[in-house]
Amino acid sequence: MASDNTQKLTPSDLMTLERYARERGEFRRKVMTHKKARNLAVGPHTTWLFEDRLTIQYQVQEILRTERIFEPEGIAEELEAYNPLIPDGRNWKVTLLIEFPDPAVRAIELAKLKGIEDRCYVQVADFSRVYAIADEDLERENDTKTSSVHFLRFELTDAMVEALRQGAALLAGVDHEHYTHSTEPLTGPTRDSLLADLA
């Protein structure tokens, strides 16, 4: 049985613009607390946000609010665009942010880091690394540089999921020639939150 995190959003899951205006502060606080466990720094310049139903609901609500979208067709379009970012049982969906505050430095580093999105991985215990399937149906790099934002999908095997449930170590990393970093094994709320995504 899939967890609620694997369910796609429907229009009935969303607040109206008026209700969202009233409840936005409280909802935003809830989402920011939730995101803390799902934000992962991999090295000094990449942040991985593991998306789920709640993080995507927040993103959609913010877009509807900002763009004042209330027609059913417009709402359906946003859901169609963002529902694929919700994990669906055997995978994680990640928004990868490459962060260099100085614009001049950023331009130089993004040129060096072309292809980084394909070198991001998760690893369960002694299993083979699972490399990202990056930017499906999107063009996020050009001939000279990569984008500062990418969308990643990590597909796990049944054996990996079972091992995680039994307490196997989990880490994330990047092995690009100009950026090689990995996390320590994930523990506590982060590990618990990611395991909740797996059916």
pTM for the full model? 0.90
Q: In this structure, how many other beta carbons lie within 10 angstroms of the beta carbon of residue 137? A: 6
Residue 7: its pLDDT value, please? 81
Radius of gyration of the chain (CA): 18
Domain spans of the chain, in order of start: 4-195
Range 42-57 average pLDDT: 97
pLDDT tens, 59-118? 999 999 999 999 999 999 999 999 999 999 999 999 999 999 999 999 999 999 999 999
Residue 2's pLDDT band (cuts 50, 70, 90): very low
pLDDT tens, 173-189? 999 999 999 999 999 99
